[in-house]
Amino acid sequence: MVLGVGKTLFYRLVDRFQSARSVFRASLSELMEVEGIGRKTAEQIRGFDLEARLEREWVLLDRLQAGVVTLNSPGYPALLRAIYDPPPVLYYQGTEPVGFPLAIAVVGTRTVSNYGKQVTHRLCSQLASRGVTLVSGMARGVDTLVHRAALENGMSTLAVFGCGLDYTYPPENRNLRSSIVQSGCVISEFPVSTRPDRNNFPARNRVISGLSLGTVVIEAGEKSGALITADFALEQGREVFAVPGNINSPNSKGTNNLIRSGAKMVLGVDSILEELPGEIRALLDHATVNPPALPDDLSENEKKLLSVMTASETPIDILIAQSGLSAAEVSATLVELELRNLVRQTDGKKFINNHAEVS
């Protein structure tokens, strides 16, 4: 929280003075003996109102019903601790982040195509049904679809923020955040009141990959932030996977280049699972995940439509023909099912049953 102190200086200071609290007790001259600490930063440390700032942070955490773990806490995720620059502190809301060892990161573009939407939902549903915890950044586009797919399949998901927990970014994902917290968690390395800032997101991306056994990239342009996450995964010694895309689509240039550079090409869920260590695969084979049951209060029209819908796209005219309902009845019922998150619409008035078995 001290202006001018990042992760590198943090570790140097703690290594020199043996504890974070001891850093604040050091003299100006002692602080300036540490590599990278000039007078200005040393004065910032000396002038930092430690007790008042800590008290304020705890008040904010209590208001959010959030928790915090430090690098040496037993509740700190082992995979993240193993990277070369783990966050000294993790703030979290929901389940303590140590509870999700079988995690895969899935990231991609904010401007996702219809193809990307289909692949994201299908692949993430398959991973979740096998017991994998999905990790992403809750950004618009692919990230949001990843979290929703996990929740639809009754699985926990982790959302890593590029801001403090006092904010939800993007703001339209407030309801999604609330759902994530019920079974998984939202995580940030930034103090609670840190605003969303573009400079925070590369750091956020290394945490996404650091929490995960591997990173899957679904649709990414040549300068996509998802590629930064993939780079971090490589540096951290983790697996990198990429979904191939249309060679004419700008959204596929990044993923296709990843494959050309050696990333594992994803042709289905087995392309990912077969690259995981044997002991991890054994744990996943024994995992049993039951998708949420359908609501008990479905109308007869809702039941009819769901019975003729699958995990693949079905055009609305086919639904009308197969359900025996009128066009007006089908349209009205689909709106209700969408509002209940039981179906979703893709381009061209086509619909997918979110509860259908994904093969």
For domain 1-48, give the CATH number.
1.10.150.20
Give me the pLDDT at residue 291, please. Answer: 56
What are 133-159's pLDDT values in tens digits?
999 999 999 999 999 999 988 889 999
Give me the pLDDT at residue 6, please. Answer: 86
Locate 141 and state its tokens: 């586009």
CB 41 within 8 Å of CB 17: no
| Beta strand pairing call for 185-188 and 214-218 | unpaired
Give the residue extent of every domain in the chain: 1-48, 97-285, 300-353
What are 292-316's pLDDT values in tens digits?
667 778 888 888 888 888 877 888 8
Q: What is the DSSP letter of 87?
A: -
Give me the pLDDT at residue 4, please. Answer: 87
What are 333-350's pLDDT values in tens digits?
988 888 877 888 877 788
Counting runs of H as helices and runs of E as strands, what totals does the chain give?
17, 12
- Whether residue 180 is predicted with pLDDT greater than 90 in this model: the reply is yes
Q: How far is CA 229 from CA 38, 83, 275, in A?
A: 32, 13, 19
Give me the pLDDT at residue 352, please. Answer: 81
Q: Which CATH architecture has domain 300-353?
A: Orthogonal Bundle (1.10)
Cis preceding linkage at 170, omega within 30: yes
**Residue whose token pair is 């806490």:** 73
What are 77-107's pLDDT values in tens digits?
999 999 998 999 999 999 999 888 899 999 9
Q: What is the average per-residue pLDDT within 203-228?
A: 94
Work out the percent of the chain whose per-residue pLDDT is above 70: 96
- Enumerate the H helices of 65-110 as residue ranges: 78-81
Does the reported pTM lie above 0.85?
Answer: no
- Whether residue 61 is predicted with pLDDT greater than 50 in this model: the reply is yes
Locate 257 and state its tokens: 């280049």
Mean pLDDT (the chain) is 90
Per DSSP, what are the bridge partners of residue 103? 133
Give me the pLDDT at residue 355, please. Answer: 72
Confidence of residue 357 (pLDDT cuts 50, 70, 90): low
CB 192 within 8 Å of CB 61: yes
Q: What is the average per-residue pLDDT within 190-202?
A: 91
Give me the pLDDT at residue 290, please. Answer: 55
Give me the pLDDT at residue 359, please. Answer: 44
The torsion defined by the Cα of 302, 304, 310 and 311, in degrees rounded to 10, comes to 10
Fold that domain 97-285 belongs to in CATH: Rossmann fold (3.40.50)
CB 62 within 8 Å of CB 165: no
Q: What is the average per-residue pLDDT within 187-212?
A: 93
